[in-house]
Amino acid sequence: MEKALSKTWSERFDKGLNPFIEKFNASIEFDICLLEEDLDGSIAHARMLGIQGIITKEEAIKLENGLQQIRKEASDGLFQPVISDEDVHFAVEKKLIELIGPVGKKLHTGRSRNDQVGTDLRLWLRKRIDEIDMDLERLQKSLFLLAEENLYTLIPGYTHLQRAQPLSLAHHLLAYIEMAQRDRNRLKDVRKRVNISPLGAAALAGTSISISRKITSSELHFQDIYSNSLDAVSDRDFVVEFLGASSLIMAHLSRLSEEVILWASEEFAFIQLTDRCATGSSLMPQKKNPDVPELVRGKSGRVFGHLQAMLTMIKGLPLAYNKDFQEDKEAIFDSVKTVKNSLIAISILFEEGLIFRKERLNDAVSSDFSNATDVADYLVAKDIPFREAYQLVGRIVKISLEEGILLKDIPLERWKTFHKFFEKDIYEKLLPSSVVESRLSTGGTGFERVKEQLFSWRKKLFN
Ligand code: ARG
C-alpha cells in the first residue's frame, strides 16, 4: 500500500492521489508566479511568530533565512517545484524543511493556505495595479504629446459615424486621456479593497494560537485587516472589481483601436501607418495592415470573459473557502498580462506607429455640410428662434445637395433670398476653423478651451 506521507497531508491519508487527479488538482504550474509574495507573506508570519513568543527568536531567524534562501535559489533557477508539490504554498514549505530541517515545520503555525493564498494574491495584485497605473500614464502621455502638436489640426467629428461637426484633433485625443484618467481613478479605488489583510484568519474561524494580525498586516504594508475571518478567506470581490476596472480599460482601448483602424482605411485615409507598427499581407503586396489595434480590439474579449467567469465562479458559493477559488488566479494573471501588453502596444502605436495626414484631414473638413449648425447659430445671433433657423438651413442644405454645391459656394445674393439677415460675414463663419474656434462653451472644442485643457493636462502629467 502506497503511503501518502511524502505529501503534506496528515496521517489520516493512506493512499496517494490518482495521478490524473493530482495534476487536475494542482495549481503549481500557474501559481508559481506568486512565489515572491508567498515568501514575503511567510517571512512576515515567521517574524510575527517570533515576536509573539510562539516560536523562539532563533527559530524565527532560521525560518526567515531559509525563506530568503529559497528566494535566492529561485532567482538562480534552482527552485523547481513539481506537480506533486500541488501549489506554491506547499512547494515553499517542503523546500524550507529540506533546507533548514524540522524547524521548518513550525512555519505553518496559526496559519492556513486559505488565508495565505488570499494574502499572496492581494500582494501580487497590489503591485500589478501600480504597474498598470504607470502604463495608463504612459498612454496618456503619448496621446497628450500628439494632442499638443495638433491643437489647430481639424478632424471631422461624428455622431452615428456620420459627419457631424469638425473638431480640434487635440480635443479628440484628449477625450481618450479623460477615459484613461477614469480608469486610473477606478483602479486606485479598487486598490483600497485589495489592500486589506486576510492573514491570520487561518482556515476560516481564526486560531487559538496567540498570533498578532496587526503585526503581519503592517509588515506587509496592508492598510487594514479583515474584521471577520470567514469574510477574509472567502472574499473575492476585489477580483471581480479589478476585472471590472480592467474590462473598462479594454473597452476604452478597443474604441480607440477601432478609430485607428477606420482612420487607416482607404475610405478615411486620415492616418498613415508607419513600418514600426504595421504588417503586410503574405499574398497582397500592396497591403499594410493595422494589426496592433486589431489585436487589442480582439483581446478585449478575453478580459470581459474573465470578468464573467469570476462572477459565475463566486455565485452561490457557500462560506467559507472553496476550491473554486483556485480558478481566480489564471483569470487575474491573464487579464493583467492582456491589459498591460495592450496598453504598451497602443502607447507605442501613438508614439511611433502612425502619422496624421493633414492634407486629407483638411480636405475632409472642408468638403461637407458640417458647418450647417453654424449657419443656424448665425441667425440665432440675429434673434431668429433656433427651430426656425434650423428648418431654413435644412432647406438650404437640401437645395445645395441637389445642386451639388457646398454652403461656401452659395453667392451672397442667393443667401439673401433665403433670409435678409445674411451678410458677407457668413463666409467667414463657414470656414471649418471658425466653426471649431466658436465652440467656446465649457468642455467644447473651441481652440481657447482646448488650450486650457492642454495646459492643465501638461501640469498633471509632466510635473
Ligand atoms: N491552491 C489553492 C488556491 O489556489 C490554495 C488554497 C488551498 N486551500 C485548501 N483548503 N485546499 O486556492
DSSP per position, 394-447: HHHHHHHHHHT--GGGS-HHHHHHH-TT--TTHHHHHSHHHHHHT--STTS--H
Residue 420: the pLDDT is 97
Verify whether ligand 1 is closer than 6 Å to residue 114 (CB atom).
yes
Distance 116 CA to ligand 1 centre (A): 9
Mean pLDDT on 241-260: 98
Residue 9 has pLDDT above 70, yes or no: yes
For residue range 345-403, what is the model confidence (pLDDT) as tens digits?
999 999 999 999 999 999 999 999 999 999 999 999 999 999 999 999 999 999 999 99
Residue 6: the pLDDT is 52
Verify whether ligand 1 is closer than 6 Å to residue 325 (CB atom).
yes
Residue 1: the pLDDT is 38
Task: Name the pLDDT band for 285 (thresholds 50, 70, 90).
Answer: confident
Residue 4: the pLDDT is 38
Verify whether ligand 1 is closer than 6 Å to residue 113 (CB atom).
yes
Please give the torsion angle defined by the CA atoms of residues 58, 64, 70 and 72, in that order, rounded to the nearest 10 degrees: -110
Verify whether ligand 1 is closer than 6 Å to residue 438 (CB atom).
no
Residue closest by Cα to atom 12 of ligand 1 = 326
Residue 7: the pLDDT is 62
- Please list the active-site residues: 160, 281
Of the chain, the percentage scoring pLDDT greater than 70 comes to 98
Residue 3: the pLDDT is 42
Residue closest by Cα to atom 4 of ligand 1 = 326
Mean pLDDT on 149-159: 98
Residue recorded with cell 514575503: 40
Distance 33 CA to ligand 1 centre (A): 15
Mean pLDDT on 89-111: 98
Residue closest by Cα to atom 11 of ligand 1 = 323
Of the chain, the percentage scoring pLDDT greater than 90 comes to 94
Residue 159 has pLDDT above 60, yes or no: yes
For the ranges 201-215, 274-288, 314-328, the lowest mean pLDDT is seen at: 274-288
Please give the torsion angle defined by the CA atoms of residues 346, 352, 353 and 354, in that order, rounded to the nearest 10 degrees: 110
Residue 5: the pLDDT is 41
Residue 279: the pLDDT is 86
Yes or no: say if 445 and 433 are a contact pair by the CB < 8 Å rule: no
For residue range 23-61, what is the model confidence (pLDDT) as tens digits?
999 999 999 999 999 999 999 999 999 999 999 999 999
Mutate to test the pocket of ligand 1, among 86, 113, 332 (most ligand atoms within 8 A of CB): 113
Distance CA 118, CA 97 (A): 23
Distance 317 CA to ligand 1 centre (A): 15
